[in-house]
Amino acid sequence: MTDAAREALRLSSLCIHGGEGMDGQGAVHTPIYNHTTFGFASTQGILDVVEGRAEGNLYTRYGLNPTIRAVERKLALLEGGEEAWVFSSGMAAVSATFMTYCGSGDHVVCIGDVYGGTYELLADNLPSLGVETTFLLGSELDRLPEVLGERTRVVFFETPTNPSMEVIDIARVAEAAREAGALTVVDNTFASPVNQQPLAHGADLVVHSATKYLGGHSDLTGGVVTGPQRYVQPIWGWRKNLGQMMAPETAALLARSLRTLVVRVRQQNETALAVARFLQAHPRVRRVNHPGLEGFPGHGMARRQMSGFGGMVSLFYDGDAEETAAVVDRLRLFTIAASLGGTESLVTQPVTTTHHGMDAEERRRRGIDDGMVRLSCGLEDAEDLVADLEQALG
Ligand SMILES: Cc1ncc(COP(=O)(O)O)c(C=O)c1O
């Protein structure tokens, strides 16, 4: 199949065939080239690759490795980007993006709740390098034009957000950021490209923790940045010199996982909606956050920019911190764990894990209380998950 024919494929087909062809030995997928270095027939040959006149395999830390390049091409096709780089973790992808685009004196706007590591990077690490961040709540989007300034380089957000599942209007933010001369960077980890493609809504760059839905089996750690060549290319040198490369074995595992991405995520969408509907009708549950619920405030926006509502649900139990912890402890099929997006269902009480470090007043401002529980719905039967929740809620 030609590269052009492959690029014209739909999402499930791209998951299988995107970026890959038959190997020289006839293997049906790109094999693991775990080699650190690749040989050349001449000095001119290696110089052509070093100086960018020719494509070629050279050195694995640079990403010039066939296993890594194959999964990068697949990921770019899945998000509608021209180029993608993979990283050793989601935080490596996020930090390299900020390091590339922000220097001393620059300004970042961060909207809504973001992953704790990203928050720390923006609130603690980047200020030590002279980069300042303004944090806006998702409900404060009207203030965006007023906080964007001449020094603003990046507007960053996740959608849906963690753990409140707020849905942020990508096109609206991207338009305001463009007018101010800033890049819009969307962390698409929660939605995955199956449910949402931020580049199509005007985002300039998309980042992922591949550790979550892209990897999908809780057995690999990785990150991705994708978008148009002109914005992705400058990040390459930072990844190379900060040494943030994904290992070829992990790249092959990620490619393996991506082949089932569409079927996994669509099933998780369906299961999460069934779980959310069950919880909504439960007398001990005060509120349920899931973009697929008709009464959820972000539902209309989600219908416009998402093609599925995702596998994440959060609920507010009608009880204090200890009573809520007891509900979580009674769950048998949901494992108490901090991650998400895998085949097995996971549960956390944000005040004891992801938001433990945030002061109580800030948590209140963000609507995160002691009764909040976050669920990552896996691939078990929805009926079994509902039965587990029913026995735990009492
Ligand atoms: C939305 C989001 N972005 C980024 C990250 C960081 O990813 P990693 O743990 O792969 O570094 C996480 C991790 O939980 C996340 O949930």
Secondary structure (3-state) at 187: strand
What end-to-end distance do the CA atoms of the chain give, in Å? 56
Q: Amino acid letter at 13? A: S
What topology is assigned to 3-258 in CATH?
Aspartate Aminotransferase; domain 2 (3.40.640)
Global confidence as pTM:
0.97
- Among 209, 214, 250, 254, residue to substitute to test ligand 1 (most atoms within 8 Å of Cβ): 209
Residue with tokens 């945030």: 358
- Among 122, 125, 189, 250, residue to substitute to test ligand 1 (most atoms within 8 Å of Cβ): 189
In the chain, % of residues over pLDDT 70? 100
Whether residue 158 has its Cβ less than 6 Å from ligand 1: yes
Mean pLDDT of 297-311: 98
CA torsion through residues 208, 214, 215, 216, sign: positive
For residue 178, is pLDDT > 90? yes
Per DSSP, 59 falls in state B
Intervals of CATH 3.90.1150.10 along the chain: 263-393
Of all protein residues, the one whose alpha carbon is nearest to atom 7 of ligand 1 is: 90
The Å distance, Cα 317 to ligand 1 centre, comes to 26
Tokens of 275: 């779980």
Whether residue 231 has its Cβ less than 6 Å from ligand 1: no
Output the pLDDT for position 1: 72
The Å distance, Cα 282 to ligand 1 centre, comes to 31
CA–CA distance, 79 with 227 (Å, rounded to integer): 8
The Å distance, Cα 283 to ligand 1 centre, comes to 33
Which of 38, 88, 40 has the alpha carbon at shortest distance from 66? Answer: 38
Beta strand pairing status for 335-336 and 312-317?
Answer: unpaired
pLDDT grade for 20, boundaries at 50, 70 and 90? confident
Query: Residue 130's CB: how many other CB atoms inside 10 A?
Result: 11
Whether residue 112 has its Cβ less than 6 Å from ligand 1: no
Tokens of 381: 């039967």
Of all protein residues, the one whose alpha carbon is nearest to atom 10 of ligand 1 is: 90
Please identify every residue annotated as catalytic.
Answer: 61, 115, 187, 212
Which of 298, 293, 324 has the alpha carbon at shortest distance from 392? Answer: 324
Which of 370, 165, 157, 120 has the alpha carbon at shortest distance from 288? Answer: 165
Is there a cis peptide before residue 248, judged by omega within 30 degrees of 0? no
pLDDT grade for 139, boundaries at 50, 70 and 90? very high
Of all protein residues, the one whose alpha carbon is nearest to atom 16 of ligand 1 is: 115
Architecture of the CATH domain 263-393: Alpha-Beta Complex (3.90)
CA–CA distance, 86 with 227 (Å, rounded to integer): 12
Mean pLDDT of 19-28: 87
Intervals of CATH 3.40.640.10 along the chain: 3-258
CA–CA distance, 313 with 284 (Å, rounded to integer): 16
Output the pLDDT for position 7: 75
For residue 21, is pLDDT > 90? no
Residue 211 · residue 89 · CB < 8 Å:
yes
CA–CA distance, 132 with 105 (Å, rounded to integer): 7
The Å distance, Cα 298 to ligand 1 centre, comes to 22
One-letter-per-residue 3-state SS of 373-393: EEEECCCCCHHHHHHHHHHHH
CA–CA distance, 90 with 280 (Å, rounded to integer): 32
- Give pLDDT tens digits for 72-130: 999 999 999 999 999 999 999 999 999 999 999 999 999 999 999 999 999 999 999 99
Mean pLDDT of 149-153: 98
Residue with tokens 């050793």: 88
Mean pLDDT of 247-260: 98
Q: Amino acid letter at 229? A: Q
For residue 282, is pLDDT > 90? yes
- Give pLDDT tens digits for 185-230: 999 999 999 999 999 999 999 999 999 999 999 999 999 999 999 9
